[in-house]
Amino acid sequence: EIVLTQSPATLSLSPGERATLSCRASQSINSYLAWYQQKPGQAPRLLIYDTSNRATGIPARFSGSGSGTDFTLTISSLEPEDFAVYYCQQRSNWLTFGGGTQVEI
Amino acid sequence: QVQLQESGPGLVKPSETLSLTCSISGGSISDYYWSWIRQPPGKGLDWIGYIFFSGNTNYNPSLKSRVTISLDTSKNQFSLNLSSVTAADTAVYYCARERWLYGVDVWSRGTTVTVSS
């Protein structure tokens, strides 16, 4: 089973700052890594698929990168609505999610 | 625009079977993986399993002995049965659509299921 470890658990930043979220896999995975945003009381929303492709309607300030076992989600300049929990997810034989990073003000 | 809506009881007794159905509207079942994902209170996301439109299934190994996911193409629905539930199965349950390599792009709103006597 591939385990995804996200860091940091909590990221405290201000609007306008850059956020860098990390996701590390326990073994090398193909480029199939996705990122999701979840706000309280809501379902997750797909942000990035296949490591670096933005989903439909996702602003350009969100970008993904990485390969092998190390992946990154970058939010170039935080907007007030970006404060939320972010999950990475891989798809080998089945799906697994990382533990999440909370981006807080 | 595809929408997913779960239905089923919000309270299940310990040792009984949790049963949920997800109704798909506004789109086709074909070419997608249809998943159940849950989120215990205050915790992260836990994938339960999926069924492909062809009927092939795959389950989380930690739940495999208790899970069955089925598909009814005539009704555009898929269902989850989770047997022998305990309090640890209390969670918000989501049904969701995945396209290979394109991520889980459609989610239901989620339904809370509590396991309690």
Best of B1, B102, B111 to disrupt the A interface (most A CBs within 10 Å) is B102
Please tell me the predicted confidence (pLDDT) of residue A94: 83
Identify the band that residue B12 occupies on the pLDDT scale cut at 50, 70 and 90. very high
> Kind and range of the H or E element at A64?
strand A62-67
Residues of B in contact with A102 (CB under 8 A): none
Q: pLDDT averaged over chain A?
A: 95
Q: Which two tokens stand for residue B26?
A: 């506004």
CA distance A14 to chain B (A): 24
Q: What is the mean pLDDT of residues B40-67?
A: 95
The answer to whether residue B111 neighbours chain A at the CB level (below 8 Å) is no
What is the distance between the alpha carbons of residues B12 and B92, in angstroms, rounded to a whole number? 13
Q: Which residue of A has its CA nearest to B37?
A: A95
Q: Kindly report, residue by residue over A26-56, the tens digit of the pLDDT.
A: 999 877 899 999 999 999 999 999 999 999 9
> Cα torsion at B60, B62, B68, B71 (round to 10°)?
-10
Please tell me the predicted confidence (pLDDT) of residue B100: 84
Residue B58 has its nearest CB partner, among A36, A56, A94, at A94
Is residue B75 within 8 A of residue B88, CB to CB? The reply is no
Residues of A with CB under 8 A from a CB of B: 1, 32, 34, 36, 43-46, 48-50, 55-56, 87, 89, 91, 93-100
Q: Is A52 strand, coil or helix? A: coil
The CA distances from residue A94 to A53, A97, B37, in Å, are: 20, 10, 12
Say which residue the tokens 């390599």 belong to: B101
The answer to whether residue B98 neighbours chain A at the CB level (below 8 Å) is yes
The CA distances from residue A96 to A10, A87, B44, B71, in Å, are: 20, 10, 11, 22
Q: Dihedral sign, CA of B90, B29, A42, A25?
A: positive
Identify the band that residue B72 occupies on the pLDDT scale cut at 50, 70 and 90. very high
Residues of A in contact with B98 (CB under 8 A): 91, 95
In chain B, where does DSSP find H-type helix? none
The CA distances from residue B85 to A90, B113, B116, in Å, are: 27, 11, 10
